[in-house]
Amino acid sequence: MDFLNILSRQVGFAQKEVLLSPHTTFGIGGRCRLFVQPCSCDEICKTVDFCRDNGVLYTIMGNGSNLLFGDDGFDGVVIKLGNRFADLVVNENKVIAQAGATTKRLYNLAKKHGLGGMEFLATLPASVGGATVLNAGCFGKCTADLVEKVWATDGKSTKVFDKSDCRFGYRDSVFKTNGFVVTMVQFCLHRADPCVTEKIYLDTICKKRQSQPLDKKSAGCFFKKHDGISAGYFIDKLGLKGVCVGDAQISQKHAGFVVNNGNATCSQVLQLVDLIQTKCKNTFGFVLEPEVVLCGSTHDFRRLSYTYSL
């Protein structure tokens, strides 16, 4: 029985054998067997439920800004929560956002309504769902600072998680391991002059442009901080800035970034990651843990002890 043919007829937008690289900020990745873009909570539940009941491999993605797909793609269903599932509602100082909305769009709406607090998050090329799951952030601020409650589904039912239930940590939340897909998030913001809000946003963007390779394709900082210290500090100390494997390069501007100079492959990126991990372990005695989600069935992924797929 062709389960993917059955599933493709049950959701509004589904495509077979879609190339994944254009759907990520890294610009890397092979094809998936089925690419689904739900437009409702019902379609998300239906897709997740179908995959689980029939043993079909699946993964959830948002804006693809913290994701590295394997060169051989993903042998299953990729469920993209994007602009087909991106409604926003403002109620006083609360904003409820569907998971596919971008953080920049959320910021623009909040600013229009005289609300502030989203400025740092708007500088990240993230979706609301992805930012919540990974507790994304920068410059000492994180998504959890703003979250009030989260709606999520396991395919069978939808549950509302209060902030305390989300178990937010550094680049972490309960949604990385509990099997629930984030569908909506309620943010609590504060009243702010739109001119002040815009200045904070522009200042933050300027600061990032000065220190990060925003002109290159990447998935942001590849590794988490270690003991509160940027991974880029350790990588720089190892003398690895600028090292290349093919078109993959450890950024000369910020050693914590691995960038795609044109036609980098997942294999090339992972060779750099392996080099960093090995040298860091041998020199400093610890292994840097990735922020980037590695997703696929590539043999290279399996040889790295810290990899996983959603």
CATH of the domain at 277: 3.90.78.10
User: Does any domain span residue 141?
Assistant: yes
The predicted-structure confidence for 247-274, as pLDDT tens digits, reads as follows 999 999 999 999 999 999 999 999 999 9
Task: Tell whether 190 and 267 lie within a shared domain.
Answer: no
Residue 8: which CATH number?
3.30.43.10
- Same structural domain, 269 and 190: no
Q: What is the CATH number of the domain that holds 111?
A: 3.30.465.10
Residues 95 and 190 in one domain: yes
What percentage of the chain exceeds 90 in pLDDT? 87
Within a domain: 203: no
**Domain containing 251: what range?**
214-303
98 and 57, same structural domain? no
Higher pLDDT residue, 4 or 65? 65
pLDDT of 302 higher than 70: no
Residue 141 reports pLDDT greater than 50: yes
Please give the full DSSP string across the chain, using - where no structure is assigned: --HHHHHHTTSSSEEEEEESGGGSTT----EEEEEE--SSHHHHHHHHHHHHHTT--EEEESSSTTEEE-TT-EEEEEEE-STTS--EEEETTEEEEETTSBHHHHHHHHHHTTEES-HHHHTS--BHHHHHHTT-EETTEEGGGTEEEEEEE-SS-EEEEEGGGG--BTTB-GGGTS-PEEEEEEEE-EE--HHHHHHHHHHHHHHHHHHS-TTSEEEEESB--BTTB-HHHHHHHTT-TT-EETTEEE-SS-TTEEEE-SS--HHHHHHHHHHHHHHHHHHHSS-PPBSSEEES--HHHHHSTT----
Q: Is residue 117 predicted with pLDDT exceeding 50?
A: yes
Please check whether residues 76 and 111 belong to one and the same domain.
no
Same domain, 42 and 94: no
What pLDDT does 7 receive? 81
Number of structural domains (the chain) is 3
- The model's pTM is 0.91
pLDDT for the residue 297: 62
Look at residue 310 in the predicted model and tell me its pLDDT. 28
Mean pLDDT of 165-175: 95
* Whether 95 and 146 share a structural domain: yes
Amino acid 12: pLDDT: 77
For residue 274, tell me if it sits in a domain: yes
Residue 9 pLDDT greater than 90, yes or no: no
Is 207 among the domain residues? no
